[in-house]
Amino acid sequence: TPSAAGSAPESPLLSLPAEHQHVRYNPLRDDWVLVSAHRVKRPWQGQLEKPPPEDVPRWDPKNPLCPGATRANGEVNPNYEGTFVFPNDFPALQPDAKEPDDSDHPLFQAAPARGVCKVMCFHPWSDLTLPLMSLPEIRAVIDAWAELATELGASYPWVQIFENKGAMMGCSNPHPHCQVWASSFLPNEARLEDRTQRQHLSQHGVPMLLEYAEQEAYRKERLVVENTDWLVVVPYWATWPYQTLLLPRRHVCRLQDLSDSEKDSLASIMQRLLIKYDNLFEVSFPYSMGWHGAPTGPYLEEDCRHWQLHAHYYPPLLRSATVRKFMVGYEMLAQAQRDLTPEQAAERLRSLPEVHYKKRAE
| Residue 310 in marked binding region | yes
> Coil, strand or helix: which one is 86?
strand
Query: With bands split at pLDDT 50, 70 and 90, how would you rate the model's confidence at 319?
Result: confident
Q: At CA 198, angle to CA 205 and CA 215, rounded to 5?
A: 55
Please indicate if the annotation marks 200 as binding a ligand.
no
Instruction: Classify residue 187 by its DSSP letter.
Output: -
Q: Residues 123, 175, 177, 200: which is the catalytic one?
A: 177
- pLDDT value of position 194: 98
With a cut of 50, say whether residue 128 has pLDDT above it: yes
Q: What is the mean pLDDT of residues 79-101?
A: 95
The phi and psi torsions of 343 (rounded to 5 degrees) equal -65, -40
- From the centroid of its chain, how far is CA 44? 28
Main-chain dihedrals φ then ψ at residue 257, nearest 5 degrees: -90, -5
**What is this structure's pTM?**
0.92
SS3 253: coil
Q: What does the DSSP 8-state code read for residue 236?
A: T
DSSP string for 106-127: TTS------EEEEEEES-S-TT
Contact of 83 with 48, CB cutoff 8 Å:
no
Helix or strand or coil: residue 276? helix
In order of their start, the domains of the chain are: 28-38+187-359 (3.30.428.10), 69-96+112-183 (3.30.428.10)
State yes or no: 172 annotated in a binding site: yes
Residue 247 CB partners (closer than 8 Å, separation 6+): 209, 212, 213, 216, 230, 231, 232, 233, 308, 310
Active site residue 306: no
What one-letter code names the amino acid at 362?
E
Q: Which one is predicted more confidently, 197 or 361?
A: 197
177-188 residues labelled b (16+ CB within 10 A) or e (exposed): bbbbbbbbbbee
In whole angstroms, give the CA distance from residue 241 to residue 344: 10
319 carries a ligand binding annotation: no
State pLDDT tens for residues 279-288: 999 999 999 9
Query: Is 337 within any annotated ligand binding site?
Result: yes
Question: Is residue 337 pLDDT above 80, yes or no?
Answer: yes
CA distance 169 to 164: 6
73 annotated as belonging to a binding site for a ligand? no
Binding site annotation covers 330? yes
